[in-house]
Amino acid sequence: MPPASDLALLVPELWLAALGLVLLGVDLFVGEQNKRTVGWVAVGGLLLALVPTWGLAGAVHRPGTTVFFGSYAVDGFAVFFKFLAIIATTLVILASMDYFRASGDRQGSTQRFEGEFYTLLVFTGLGLVLMAASADLILVALSIEFVSLTSYVLAAYLKGNPKSNEAGLKYFLFGAAASAVMFYGFSLLYGLTGSTSLYVIAEKVATVPAPALTVSLALMLAGFGFKISMVPFHQWTPDVYEGAPTPVAAFLSVGSKAAGFAVLLRVVAVAIAPSGLDYVTLIAGLSAVSMFVGNLLALPQRNIKRMLAYSSISHAGFILIGVAAFGGAFGNTGLLIYLFAYMFFTLGAFFIAALIEARLGSDDIPDYAGLSQRAPGLAFLMALFMLSLTGIPPTAGFFAKFYIFAAAIERSPALLWLVAVGVVNSVISLYYYVNVIRTMYLLPPQDPARIQEPAVLRTALWVTGAATLLLGLYPQPLITFARAAALLLP
């Protein structure tokens, strides 16, 4: 039985688990027409979860500790991702309230499963928190599978939509294969070191044969790469994003990706780095390939969700620059800054796509024609998110890319080529992002009727829009927090 002091450090996780159970109970007692109540309880509970998480914020200024016999880390790195996961889950639930009902009616689905939808999002958020803090290979595997199982269900949630069913099935099949390969990598690492603890592995890994360790790392990257949509483990991404409910696609592109990077970085920086293995070259190569593949395949897309899916693949490449450069002042901070900023402008883009899909029944970019006349506020926000995804100042996207590029330059002159690849891919991405802006502002609308903006979704949109601007204009609070949080528990 773990001591009470361990449980005191796990209040955010315990709160999220209790919240999920409470939501199941609330769902039993509200009528089918009042399932949105479950969503509001979830939002309130998640906001309250920020209180105990803030209570752990002092951990970002300390070396940190482990609980549960060294299997779970409580350090600034984990606390940072707790904030990210809770904020992302809250925003996605807000955006889901209008979308779920409108899409369910259009697809012929009933509303009686709406409460479980919000509950699954909360449990998935809990899984993301567990992934980011896992310090043992067994706990890493369990937390990844926990997130995967709930994500498979969420991707296939629109039962009357064949594309949603297809998305869930493809996600499951690709995920099962990736997990099997990753677990084999875990077993090799355990066999080489005799332990599943990342910190014990770090002490023994220097004596491990380099070829065997390289094979283990490559196999583990299959599972991590699946979670972050990294080439060549990206094939599921466009089909799943297109078929899944749009808020779920948003959640996968932000929450699942961030947690995937968290566990990747903890395994590589804590357990693999002490071996002296040159993993930077491998990560840099995967980064470059992911950027090019994502951007080039995004160019011909006419479906906004598929375009954002390929964009997500390219941004995985940009974030991998931060993984390759991790270890310096800019590298440690830049990765976290990018993930936090990316959360807001990516969620915002998907939320607008969700609203347009719910109102027009279409995800095609040409149907965004004249949006500046039909919904000026939406058009402005979408333009802001597109410019931020490109990396145009003064948005958060520009600042995030600046820090990532600075990290690579600081880490080693050998990574200058990767910075050049990043700049070239930013220019390439400008074409398909600006195409959305051109469609909204320069093409005439097919229907001049105004598009109504639900109040709840409008709140989520303006939060993401304000954050996208503020983090670009005044990033110092985020820099301070990320600089301290980037110190992994040694």
Q: pLDDT tens-digit profile of 105-159?
A: 555 444 557 888 999 999 999 999 999 888 899 999 999 999 999 999 999 888 8
**56 or 287: which carries more pLDDT confidence?**
287
In the predicted model, what is the mean pLDDT of residues 25-40? Answer: 83
Q: Which domain holds residue 336?
A: 279-490
- On whether residue 232 sits in a domain, the answer given is no
* pLDDT score recorded for residue 108: 47
* pLDDT score recorded for residue 435: 93
Instruction: For the chain, state the CA radius of gyration.
Output: 21
* pLDDT score recorded for residue 234: 87
Best-predicted range by mean pLDDT among 19-33, 69-83, 134-148, 474-488? Answer: 134-148
* pLDDT score recorded for residue 27: 85
d(CA 221, CA 309): 20
Cβ count within 10 A of residue 57: 16
Cβ count within 10 A of residue 455: 8
Output the CA–CA distances (angstroms, integers) from residue 429 to 291, 383, 400, 425, 465, in the order listed. Answer: 10, 14, 16, 6, 20
Q: The tokens of 113 are what?
A: 């499963």
- On whether residue 341 sits in a domain, the answer given is yes
* pLDDT score recorded for residue 383: 94
Closest listed residue to residue 351, CA positions, set 463, 238, 236, 237: 463
Q: Are 348 and 465 in contact (CB under 8 A)?
A: yes
Identity of the residue numbered 215: V
Q: What is the DSSP letter of 73?
A: E
- On whether residue 283 sits in a domain, the answer given is yes
- On whether residue 46 sits in a domain, the answer given is no
* pLDDT score recorded for residue 483: 81
pLDDT (tens digit per residue) in 43-71: 999 999 998 888 776 654 555 677 887 78
- On whether residue 358 sits in a domain, the answer given is yes
* pLDDT score recorded for residue 110: 43
Which range has the worst mean pLDDT, 280-294, 327-341, 371-385? 327-341
- On whether residue 222 sits in a domain, the answer given is no
d(CA 13, CA 133): 11
In the predicted model, what is the mean pLDDT of residues 425-435? Answer: 93
What's the chain's length in residues? Answer: 490
In the predicted model, what is the mean pLDDT of residues 183-189? Answer: 93
- How far does the chain reach from its first CA to its final CA, in angstroms? 25
Q: Are 124 and 153 in contact (CB under 8 A)?
A: no
In the predicted model, what is the mean pLDDT of residues 18-33? Answer: 87
**60 or 87: which carries more pLDDT confidence?**
87
pLDDT at 428 over 90: yes
* pLDDT score recorded for residue 101: 66
**452 or 212: which carries more pLDDT confidence?**
212
Give the total number of structural domains in the chain.
1
* pLDDT score recorded for residue 65: 76
* pLDDT score recorded for residue 446: 82
Sequence-separated (6 or more) residues with CB below 8 Å from residue 285: none
Cβ count within 10 A of residue 336: 29
Q: The tokens of 44 are what?
A: 């309130």
d(CA 419, CA 41): 45
pLDDT at 359 over 80: yes
Cβ count within 10 A of residue 203: 13
Mean of all residue pLDDT scores within the chain: 87
- On whether residue 174 sits in a domain, the answer given is no
DSSP secondary structure of 472-483: HH--HHHHHHHH
pLDDT (tens digit per residue) in 432-485: 999 999 999 998 888 788 888 788 888 899 899 999 999 999 988 888 888 877
Closest listed residue to residue 305, CA positions, set 361, 365, 386, 391: 365
Give the pTM. 0.92
| Percent of the chain's residues with pLDDT above 70 | 93
Q: What are phi and psi of 66, to 5 degrees?
A: -125, 155
pLDDT (tens digit per residue) in 223-234: 899 989 998 888
* pLDDT score recorded for residue 104: 53
* pLDDT score recorded for residue 348: 93
**5 or 271: which carries more pLDDT confidence?**
271
- On whether residue 386 sits in a domain, the answer given is yes
d(CA 469, CA 467): 5
Which range has the worst mean pLDDT, 11-15, 193-197, 412-416? 412-416
DSSP secondary structure of 80-118: HHHHHHHHHHHHHHHHHHHHHHHHHHHTT--STTHHHHH
